[in-house]
Chain A
Amino acid sequence: MGKDKMAGKTRGVNRRTVLKGAAAGFGLAAGSGAITGFPTIWAQNIKNVTLRQFGTGVSNLNAIAEKCKADTGITLQMTALDSDAVAQRAVTQPKSFDIADIEYWICKKVFPAGVMQPMDTKKIKNVDKIVPLFLSGKLKPDSVIAQGTAPHSVGFVEGKDSTKFAKSQTQWMTMIPTIYNADTLGIRPDLVGRPIANWKDIMDPKFKGKASILNIPSIGIMDAAMICESMGEIKYGDKGNMTKAEIDKTIAIMTAAKKSGQFRAFWKTFDESVNLMASGEVIIQSMWSPAVTAVKSKGIPCVYQPLAEGYRAWGGGLGIAKHLSGLELDAAYEYINWYLSGWVGAYLNRQGYYSAVLDTAKQHMSAEEWGFWMEGKPAAADIMSPDGKLLEKAGAVRDGGSFENRMGKVACWNAVMDEDRYMVQKWNEFIAA
């Protein structure tokens, strides 16, 4: 362990960091911190480290930075951007960050650009406890791997300096999974006036001018695919990697619906989707779980409707910038180990997302919370949000049920297709139609 760290440290660094590393190495040996395999012994040095992290708004939260400072001494500078900006910043300004919090489908584009370094799983304490979805693609040994850019398919590379994704698990991970969820349609139960059970229900003429999907091409196309497949119009080989013919047909169906006035709007940001739903402009639309919570918190009924065809899932993780080395790299590993150690996991679970290591998160949640969020049981007590607001009264049941019910019914993951160039052209055509 100690040797590993020394080797990692001295790669292309100046004399000063070498000395620091050497001192730390002695410290490690002397303190026998190696027993736990956890480099807490360096806390003295790490306290002075600042890590710059950016990512989407869902997980770049000040509460996490504050708790991290208190627990590890590492200062985190968080920048929250939208998904598009995250990908652009990662690729075009690789020196402007130390930790990238990015989604797996974007990772498929960002990692081969060579701006990040693979992570040594030997230094990740809880790596074996990570939800198997991210390791093998299967939630349970007998599960079917969902379509699209499944996180495990871009989760590993072949070697330490490789940017080529590995077909199966290796020692080198592109990102450590942190947060994920299964998305479905949000509805206004007071306004739809009928049970909603399938993705195709969004195309019901009854909801003409009152439906919406999202206008982020690579995610919107997946929603469109779920809808078209549900309508029985298309049977996809892989929704996350369509052929040109499949793209054409999908866009044709969506364009016809658009021309007939089915959609009220297409949303691109979290806030837009909340406003569309809360104002009643739209009564059924693709939505993100916390957006549903945001609508509910305004006192407006909104349901995150589980559907027969399953969910469209997404996942995000933490990756380390290529330029990181020495003490900062150690701090990055320490931070990621801390991230998986439970507090953050519980914090994310309480917002309706899921954390990568469930065992440790469980230790930071009450039995009632765990039962409500993860096991799909009726809340045994009032459920509070992480900032202490009442979210659900006792007795309420989470939309979509238990963790296994939701993540076990993922039909596809957000994806980057081989034909994404063609897809964007066709998507533009759809918007221009």
Chain B
Amino acid sequence: MEPGRAGSLRGHLPMQAKSYIPYLQVAPLAFVFGAFLVIPILTIVVVSFWDYDFARIIPDFVLTNYRELLGSPVTLRTYLNTLRYAAIVWVATLAIGFTVAYFLAFHVRSDTWQTACFLICTVPFLTSNIIRMISWIPFLGRNGLLNSALVGAGIVDHPLEFLLFSDFAVVLAFVHLYTLFMIVPIFNSMMRIDRSLIEAAYDGGANGLQVLTNVIIPLCKPGIAIGSIFVVTLVMGDFVTVRFMSGGQSASVGLMMANAISLLQYPAAAANAVILLIVVLLMVGAMMRIVDIRKEL
């Protein structure tokens, strides 16, 4: 907020009231976050230290949940697997998202077409996430459309098994589901770039690649960072996509939690949730260090 404007508003009020105004302004949001975000998270943290047996959850302060979680090789393997998905999906969505956004922002000249193309990108997202994901299954299956076409065209003799219920299928579904989250913020950043900067760069003798790497990409960094945060947090927390597309053959952190919850082992699931939250916050923190989103906006 600009100090001048705030000052003029404060000028009309008695001195002692002035200091309350910012607090009143943040109060509604603070209340919503407090009630629906902070309290639930604190509850999860508290429960993660509770004990449980086959039928009950016992209020207590034990470290067993964390000890079992952190001491188990399966945790490390699952986290590595989940991080691997996140990394591959991040690279793929960034490459596709940047290209699509670049095309929309710099190659589509008319505003009407720009809006129209942008809408076309978003239309599939009017259907539910799960339906868009599940519709890959009959397409990729052993007797699915793709395999029938490949075998029919004589490209392969046997149906390709790796297409479905594999890491390939998981990554494909993730990229399909989440690329839009990359396109929108990057497109937004690109639209804010002053076109005269690009002209100036060309006038100064830069070629296309130099303009891209020295002007456009640096100015898109906030968009890239926001998109990356979306994609990484979504992939890290996902369990539905991994379960359906890997045919239940791959694990993700979310899936581990779902399994624990299914047997009412809430404290174990809560401990896992706390660790996941810390890991994701660290990742987001690292991204924020590379790009100062607030400064760039």
Binding site for B on A (CB under 8 A): 83-84, 87-88, 91, 108-113, 209, 212, 215-218, 258, 263-268, 272, 275, 279-281, 416, 418, 420-421, 424-425, 427-429, 431-433
Contacts and interface: CB of A to CB of B under 8 A. Distances in A.
Interface string B62-74: 0000001000111
B263 A267 contact: no
B282 to A, nearest CB: 22
B274 interface: no
B55 A425 contact: no
A432 B78 contact: yes
Contacts of B78: 428, 432
B258 to A, nearest CB: 8
Of B68, B77, B248, most buried by chain A (CB within 10 Å of CB) is B248
A266 B265 contact: no
Contact of A432 (B56, B74, B265): B74
B262 A84 contact: yes
A281 B251 contact: no
A420 B56 CA distance: 13
Given A109-B55, A279-B138, A432-B251, A427 B164 contact: no
B250 interface: yes
A425 B72 contact: yes
B55 A280 contact: no
Contacts of A216: 262
B142 interface: yes
Interface string B165-187: 10000000000000000000000
Interface string B236-252: 00000001101111110
Interface string B15-53: 000000000000000000000000000000000000010
B263 A217 contact: yes
B255 interface: yes
B141 A279 contact: yes
A218 B263 contact: yes
Contacts of B77: 432-433
Contacts of A421: 52, 54, 265, 268
B261 A425 contact: no
A84 B261 contact: yes
B263 A258 contact: no
A425 B263 CA distance: 11
Given A112-B56, A113-B55, A265-B246, 4 more contacts: A217-B259, A266-B247, A421-B265, A429-B74
A197 to B, nearest CB: 26
B164 A281 contact: yes
B162 to A, nearest CB: 10
B264 A88 contact: yes
Contacts of A218: 263
Contacts of B144: 279
The 4 A-B residue pairs whose C-beta atoms are closest, nearest first, are A265-B247, A266-B248, A432-B251, A84-B262
B195 to A, nearest CB: 50
A42 B180 CA distance: 60
Contacts of A215: 243, 248
Given A112-B55, A267-B248, A275 B72 contact: no
Interface string B193-232: 0000000000000000000000000000000000000000
A258 B265 CA distance: 26
Given A428-B74, A431-B255, A264 B55 contact: no
A279 B143 contact: yes
Contacts of B73: 429
A217 B262 contact: yes
A91 B54 CA distance: 13
Contacts of A268: 243, 248
A88 B259 CA distance: 12
28 contacts: A84-B261, A84-B262, A87-B263, A108-B54, A109-B54, A110-B55, A112-B55, A113-B55, A217-B262, A217-B263, A263-B249, A264-B247, A265-B165, A265-B249, A266-B248, A268-B243, A275-B137, A279-B138, A280-B143, A421-B52, A421-B54, A421-B268, A424-B260, A425-B68, A428-B256, A429-B72, A429-B74, A432-B256
A99 B107 CA distance: 62
A424 B264 contact: no
B296 interface: no
B249 A418 contact: no
Contacts of A263: 247, 249
Contacts of B165: 264-265, 281
Given A87-B264, A267-B248, A420-B263, A432 B143 contact: no
Contacts of A91: 264
Nearest to B260: A424
Contact of B142 (A267, A281, A416, A428): A281
Contacts of B258: 84
B57 to A, nearest CB: 9
A254 B6 CA distance: 67
A280 B55 CA distance: 40
B248 A209 contact: no
A87 B143 CA distance: 37
Contact of B261 (A88, A264, A267, A420): A88
Contact of A418 (B54, B244, B256, B262): B54
A431 B250 contact: yes
B93 to A, nearest CB: 24
B60 interface: no
Nearest to B69: A425
B129 interface: no
Given A263-B249, A431-B249, A416 B259 contact: no
Of B56, B68, B78, B259, most buried by chain A (CB within 10 Å of CB) is B259
Contacts of A420: 54, 263
B161 interface: yes
A268 B242 CA distance: 13
A428 B143 contact: no
A284 B269 CA distance: 33
A48 to B, nearest CB: 35
A353 B164 CA distance: 33
A83 B258 CA distance: 13
Contacts of B114: none
A261 to B, nearest CB: 9
Contacts of B54: 108-109, 416, 418, 420-421
A413 B18 CA distance: 70
Nearest to B142: A281
A302 to B, nearest CB: 16
